[in-house]
Amino acid sequence: MAGVVGNVIAEILTIGDELLRGEIVDSNKSFLSERLLGLDVQTHWHTSVRDDPDDMTDAFRRALARADVVLVSGGLGPTRDDLTTEILAATTGRPLELDAESLETIRGFFKRVGREMAENNAKQAYFPKGAQVLANPIGTAPGFWLEEPGCIVCCLPGVPPELYRMMDEQVIPRLGRVLAESGRERSVVRAVLLRTFGMGESTLDEELRDVAAAGDVQLGFRTAFPDNYLRPVARGRTEAEAEERLAEVCQTIRERLGPLIYAEGDETLEAVVVRLLAERGRTVAVAESCTGGSIAQKLTNVPGSSAGFLGGVVAYSNASKQALLGVSAALLETHGAVSEPVARAMAEGVRERYGADVGVSTTGISGPDGGSADKPVGLVHVALADASGTHTDHFVFPLDRIRHRLLTTQVGLDWIRRRLLGLELASPTLMRARGGGSAPGGGRS
């Protein structure tokens, strides 16, 4: 294999005009890179190319010259613009050969679904000479594995479910065996995703400026509004060495950031809340105005949420706040719907009506209209009520309507998490123009 000694270098090449026109989001690249990292294979390049013979030839030549492993997605279909097999065969100087077994498999697929096979589907059974066919158990386009001097090329269909299954069932096991049998000494790579909420990306970087600044551990940052993700990556000569370095840097990050880190890996904030509710035998109900039921929606998206989530009320109008949550007309008249007293009354009202351990409310002005000098667009009040009292805070988030609602929803979920963990109900600093900071109280203030 080519590449730097100690590292196996990969390139992901995705093919299709639709990718370059922005018609679809190319999720295959991230999936393939994540799977390769599990084999200690580093992806150095992500390349997308049109269904154009000259562009594809250039992309193949570059990838073959600089990478040890090249994973190709797309261009294996039956239509005239599916050119991956033909162009790769020409680039590597290999003639195309018919694989009779693949052709019969494709014919059998159409027979099973009761359709007549078009003649152009037969092109999917032709492969570069010497290629090993990768069966597609759920589609008509087989993939193939090709070994060039110093480089392994693996071509897979672009349809995500087909690619995911073929990658996990065929490519990863085979690539793992080839790398192990090669005897090549390579760095072991270990990584983890740390999910944070409440602090902006640049502030996180500043807080962690001396962490993983050099050496065999790197720290990456990624925003997925309203969250920010940290990705520590550690390298070592052995698995134990890499894992030890990763554990050390993660411990340092956790000590520095504390409860700003709410989860690792794929666990979302709402999944954390549902898990904590179940573990602690607690229940929650929500009263939402400006968020329009999105806190309830996020919670009920998580399997098992019925164990801790009792229900919610979308009380958008003043009349619904009175009828469904018991907010008094006098309170609304004196303070307005977007106010601390009303947020308190909403949280306490929904908690009482559902018999929940915790009640959370949101009321705000998501815009683009409806603001005033005293209550600008972006203002939101959030309240949490439980047996210890009611905590409120207010913010002005200078955001568009959609992101304002997303951020407010995440604040509500984070407050539930923090209360279940016995943590301070801290308020986010990201995108916050100004805000209150009321301490938990024993009832209405």
Determine the pLDDT at residue 430: 60
Q: How large is the average pLDDT for residues 159-165? A: 96
Q: Is the pTM of this model over 0.85?
A: no
DSSP letter for 2, please: -
Helix (H) or strand (E) holding 160: helix 160-166
Question: If pLDDT is split at 50, 70 and 90, which confidence band does 6 have?
Answer: low
- Choose among 429, 376, 431, 369: nearest CA to 401: 369
Q: Could you tell me the CA-to-CA distances from 62 to 91, 286, 343, 386 in Å, in that order?
A: 11, 55, 60, 61
Whole-angstrom distance, CA of residue 199 vs CA of residue 201: 7
Q: Could you tell me the CA-to-CA distances from 319 to 33, 314, 323, 333, 366 in Å, in that order?
A: 52, 12, 6, 12, 19
Name every residue whose Cβ is closer than 8 Å to that of residue 422 and which is 6 or more positions away in sequence.
Answer: none
- Choose among 187, 57, 183, 162: nearest CA to 171: 162
pLDDT of 239 higher than 80: yes
Q: Alpha helix locations (H) across 22-159?
A: 28-37, 53-66, 84-92, 100-112
pLDDT of 442 higher than 90: no
Complete domains list, the chain, with CATH: 8-182 (3.40.980.10), 188-264 (3.30.70.2860), 269-435 (3.90.950.20)
DSSP letter for 371, please: -
Read off the pLDDT of residues 339-367 as tens digits, 9 standing for 90 and up: 999 999 999 999 999 999 999 999 999 99
Contact criterion met (CB below 8 Å) for 353 and 285: yes
Who has greater pLDDT, 435 or 418? 418
- Which residue has tokens 């009175």? 322
Q: Could you tell me the CA-to-CA distances from 380 to 321, 345, 392 in Å, in that order?
A: 16, 15, 11
- Residue 246 has phi, psi (to 5 degrees) of -65, -45
pLDDT of 159 higher than 70: yes
| DSSP string of 228-269, one letter each residue | EEEEEEEEESSHHHHHHHHHHHHHHHHHHHGGGEEEETT--H
Read off the pLDDT of residues 294-346 as tens digits, 9 standing for 90 and up: 999 999 999 999 999 999 999 999 999 999 999 999 999 999 999 999 999 99
Read off the pLDDT of residues 387-411 as tens digits, 9 standing for 90 and up: 999 999 999 999 999 999 999 999 9
Read off the pLDDT of residues 108-118 as tens digits, 9 standing for 90 and up: 988 887 888 88
The pLDDT > 70 percentage for the chain reads 95
